[in-house]
Amino acid sequence: MMLACFAMVSSSIAAQTDKPVRKDRSHMPITIKSNEMTADNKGKTAIFSGKVVAKQGDITIFSDKLVVNYAEKNSEVDKVEAIGNVRIVQLNRTGIASQAVYESRDGRITLTGSPNPKVMQGSDSVSGKIITYYVDDDKSFVSGGGDPNSRVEAVINQPVRKDAAGGR
């Protein structure tokens, strides 16, 4: 759930130790609340609609509609598709988009749709046509989607230095 420039604007334990830190959430339960739910056992899907809130570990997804797709063999959650007014929150990071796909097993969230997806952390932000965030690895990729007229935009604020704030 949620998201892109997180790795760029936040300090990473993995970067400090040069070893990837894996926070695998795939074994954690997913709690979903909505106004309605429709299940299709043969189709291996469950559709939640109306003020949807889905939570797995420290990731929360808000959307108008959520489609849960189950794997053929073992019926575990394969992917979760959020549609309409998508907002994904993880700790102090928030991603917004019109669509998102969360692949829990891979720890990957892909934000798409119009207007361009955006991820914010504090006063920093990044936007682009496609934002892919690897939540378990604290890595991200932002793209203009192959369109030469669509560009990635990042706003990175510098911390206020004490000598600049005090006037001395």
For residue range 46-76, what is the model confidence (pLDDT) as tens digits?
999 999 999 988 999 999 999 999 988 877 8
Q: Residue 31: which H helix or E strand, with range?
A: strand 31-33
Task: Tell me the two tokens of residue 66.
Answer: 């959520």
Enumerate residues 6+ apart whose C-beta is below 8 A from 113.
Answer: 86, 97, 98, 99
Place of tokens 């990042």: 154
Confidence (pTM): 0.79
For residue range 90-128, what is the model confidence (pLDDT) as tens digits?
888 999 999 999 987 788 999 999 888 999 999 999 999
Q: How many residues does the chain have?
A: 168
Place of tokens 């300090």: 11
- CA distances (Å), origin 140, targets 21, 52, 93: 15, 25, 13
Helix, strand, coil share (%) of the chain residues, nearest 5: 10, 50, 40
